[in-house]
Chain A
Amino acid sequence: MSVSYGGDSITFADGSVNSSGFIGNRNRIINGAMVVDQRNAGASVTLTSGGVLTVDRWQGFEDTDGVMTAQQDTSAPTGFVNSLKFTTTTADATLSAAQFSLIQQRIEGTNIYDLAWGTASAATVTLSFWVRSSLTGTFGGALRNSASNRSYPFTYTISVADTWEQKTITIAGDTSGTWLTTTGTGMNVAFGLGVGSTNSGTAGAWAGSTFYSATGATSVIGTLNATFYITGVQLERGSTASSFEYRSYGTELALCQRYYEKSYAQGTVPGTITTTNQMQGIRGNGMFVSRVFFKVTKRAAPGTITIYSSTTGTSGKVNNANSGSDENSSVNDSGDGGMQVQGTTGSISDTYRYQWIADSEL
């Protein structure tokens, strides 16, 4: 085996690269290989102005006159099995200044605190990813802080249509602004899919503005049936793009479950009628109470919880196994470790069945 040293990296004979001091846990992006899709189980979703979760941790936004869908896909470069695919189903060829479509991941502040952004010691980072599109040209994206008053637009070029290409962008850390190191959003990593002039800025420079992409970038939503795929996204400390940090599926799933967890089996869309993995509880004197303990500690107490009847899939309901009917539920006493599901109807000793999702996404 031969190795070569490149200042802050080691390149092995097979072309794989490790960067200095960060052999493990280099990638600050979670689900960068797009393998975990708890919410949709591979089904297509339509992007919305308020944001919709596609595969885990990746939020798609579309606030234009067009329509764009997103879906986990099996097209992938060598070494990957999944990507996230976007398709323009209604084009908007002339975006107004404030319109935009994008995909982004919000990185938790606790996962970037060592970068020391917002200080004179701000560390350089390198963003690498694989892309494929039916379009060619200059594309854009941006890093920005949680307050959206610090942004760094970047560009990359897709040279050949419908062909996987790997891109690398090195960014000097921001010495200004506020970059949270809490359980809130530390950093947004966005890839523009069509962004109007208001939120597009000069590439390669930090700015005190809200930029989602770079000026002049190609608009995917501007062309009917245009496709855009992305996978292998990695954000790491240093000026070198090391090889993608493969994590076991179980590890990646657990990382995702810090932000979203469900009782359903993986591969089952919430709301599906199924008793697999269902929760059960028995009503006592006052009411039915069932305690759920999360498999993974959440970033924070879930902002949204949905309870589903196991037998009808109806949201907000638990199923009374004795009467066979769905009955109202409620949720209380939640935290990062669990929650309480309860109901008041039915009779003492009745058995209740339900499924659940808990969402602590940023």
Chain B
Amino acid sequence: MYKLIKDPITGEILEYALRLSDNSFVHRELNNEYLKWLAEGNTPEPADEQN
């Protein structure tokens, strides 16, 4: 499971999402595990209003 993170100043979604299993940050375009997870039809949790 993954969770998106929003930049608290600009409000933009950051390029790294949070992997909830180990609190690591995965690149949303470069992490193969994340891309495979997305391709399986999964969607990340939305970002909090403030990280």
Contact = CB atoms under 8 A, between A and B. Distances in A.
Interface of A: 50, 286-287, 300-307, 314-317, 328, 330-334, 343-344
Contact of A304 (B7, B9, B26, B50): B26
B31 A303 contact: yes
Nearest to B15: A332
A304 B31 contact: yes
B15 A306 contact: no
Contacts of A287: 8-9
A278 to B, nearest CB: 18
Contacts of A303: 26-27, 30-32
Given A303-B30, A304-B31, A330 B16 contact: yes
A300 B26 CA distance: 13
Interface in B1-43: 5, 7-9, 14-16, 18-19, 22-27, 30-33
B14 A330 contact: yes
Given A286-B8, A286-B9, A332-B7, A305 B14 contact: no
Nearest to B33: A50
A330 B23 CA distance: 10
Do most interface residues of chain B lie in helix, strand or loop, or is the interface mixed?
loop
Given A303-B26, A330-B51, A344-B8, 11 more contacts: A286-B8, A286-B9, A300-B30, A303-B27, A303-B31, A305-B24, A315-B23, A316-B25, A331-B14, A331-B16, A334-B16
A63 to B, nearest CB: 16
Which 8 pairs, one residue from A and one from B, show the smallest C-beta to C-beta distance?
A316-B23, A303-B31, A315-B23, A306-B24, A331-B25, A331-B16, A303-B30, A344-B8
Contacts of B33: 50
Given A287-B8, A316-B18, A332-B14, A304 B51 contact: no
Contacts of B51: 328, 330, 343-344
Contacts, number: 61
B31 to A, nearest CB: 4
B25 to A, nearest CB: 4
Contacts of A305: 16, 24-25, 27
Interface of B: 5, 7-9, 14-16, 18-19, 22-27, 30-33, 50-51
B27 to A, nearest CB: 5
Nearest to A289: B9
21 contacts: A287-B8, A300-B30, A301-B30, A303-B26, A303-B30, A304-B19, A304-B26, A304-B31, A305-B24, A306-B22, A306-B25, A307-B25, A315-B23, A330-B14, A330-B16, A330-B51, A331-B14, A331-B25, A333-B15, A344-B8, A344-B50
Contacts of B23: 306, 314-317
Contacts of A330: 5, 14, 16, 18, 25, 51
Contacts of B27: 301-305, 334
A315 B32 CA distance: 21
B25 A304 contact: yes
A344 B25 CA distance: 17
